[in-house]
Amino acid sequence: MASTDPAIRHISRCSIKPEWVSEEESNQPFHLNPWELTFLNARYIQMGLLFRKPPSTNTINTIIDNLKDSLSRTLVHFFPLAGRLVTHKQDNPPSYSISIDCKNNQLRGGVDFVHAVADHVTMADILSPIHVPPIVRSFFLQREAINHDGHTLPLLAVQVTELVDGIFIACSFNHAVVDGSSLWHFLNSWAEICRFNQDQISRSPVLTRSWVLDGTHGPVINLPFSHQDEFIFRKSLSPAMTLLQDRFFHFSPQSIARLKAKANAECNTTSSTTISSFQAVSAFVWRCMTRVRCRHLPNHQKTSCRFSTNNRSRLNPPLSPDYFGSCVQAVIANTTVGELLSHGIGWGGWLLHEAVNGHTDSKVRESVEVWMKSPSINLIGNIFDPCGIIIGCSPRFDMYGCDFGWGKAEAIRSGIDNKRDGKVFSYPGRQGGGSVDFEVTLLPESMSALESDPEFMDAVSPSQ
């Protein structure tokens, strides 16, 4: 039960299961789709929210009990999260497939729930430092677990850590089961049930997997393997990971508007081909991070900006925005260090604009067709460009709408998993209005250079 950080004590641990699930629902198959299968080597998504501790009339034991009870009721709607991954294998004829097993979630399944205490840690200890303090990483469970471990580990693990004056709710989600859209859909639903002490939610998840039936595709995807060792690549966190620094940079609506105007002016865009606000600020971040990370590299060195795109709205007809699962795909803009730095942000913004616009229904379906002919599992280490950046998450997610009855969260924080030098997470600014927070992860030398970059620091402002 002990935490890896001596400042944190684990008080209790239990498994939370759906309050009830019908036999018909639990018996339906939940086969993984192509995008989910490619994530089997990736690590869990780790996202958490920091709240001020409620008034003393609500004891911590009451709060913990309410969170457990509301989680159980929320899992009624999202019961696949209480299941486990299962591999179906046979030799004659040969077949190998992976799905979510919900039949036994009342026996061996469930969601891990840990109540922890950080006796001497305050909210200021989390929020005041320029860089995110390392103790935040110990607020999360399932560290170093990969998604394939969902065969034996929970698909969702929750740690609620009591601070001196706050509460941190940290969630580790299996990325082969949910993406960012599904993650925040679940968290908002859990908060809604807890806040109003009810059973119903305003947005029911769409759990059906039959969308894969596309004329030629069945729901079961047969992988060309006979054993997990043929496609699982497990790599421990390297010592360099402990050196990584995380820092939040706040972009106000005014700053974003200026960057967008500058990008579009440089490219002479029209109203029908406008570089979006997010594309402009992402290009700006890409360009500045490349300048500080690649200053000793030749101009012909390749660099890329990779970010996830929600395929729900890209398909025609589109999937429901409430489709529950992992339905994202990487969109990539490529160039060289010299080209990116010799042009303004409009040039990089246009690369991102074209990459997004090119990710159409036909492109999505074509990529699925190609993958289905030769299924493969990504080696996650291969997608990290040492001279590029990867932007995860999205400021479109309703993160600060997660009110468990104690008011709006004070901050969002993420864990260490899936972070590398050059990883960026984008979040909505707490005060709203179109502001955006970028959580940037860099090695100390590059972080120091970015913090000393006049162009970059002129565009960011203190969080409100």
Task: Please give the positions annotated as active site.
Answer: 175, 403
Q: State the Cα–Cα distance between residues 54 and 58, nearest whole angstrom.
A: 6
Residue with tokens 């979040």: 427
CA 15 distance to own-chain centroid: 23
Q: Which residues, at least 6 apart from 75, have a Cβ–Cβ distance to it below 8 Å?
A: 16, 17, 18, 19, 81, 82, 111
- Distances 220 to 29, 99, 217 between C-alpha atoms, Å: 9, 8, 8
Q: State the Cα–Cα distance between residues 452 and 461, nearest whole angstrom.
A: 14
| DSSP-derived 3-state class of residue 29 | coil
What residue type is 10 in one-letter code?
A: H
Residue 129: how many other CB atoms lie within 10 Å: 10
What residue type is 68 in one-letter code?
A: K
Q: Which residues, at least 6 apart from 424, have a Cβ–Cβ distance to it below 8 Å?
A: 285, 289, 389, 390, 391, 392, 438, 439, 440, 441
Question: In 339-353, which positions are buried (b, 16+ CB within 10 angstroms) versus exposed (e)?
Answer: bbbebebbbbbbbbb
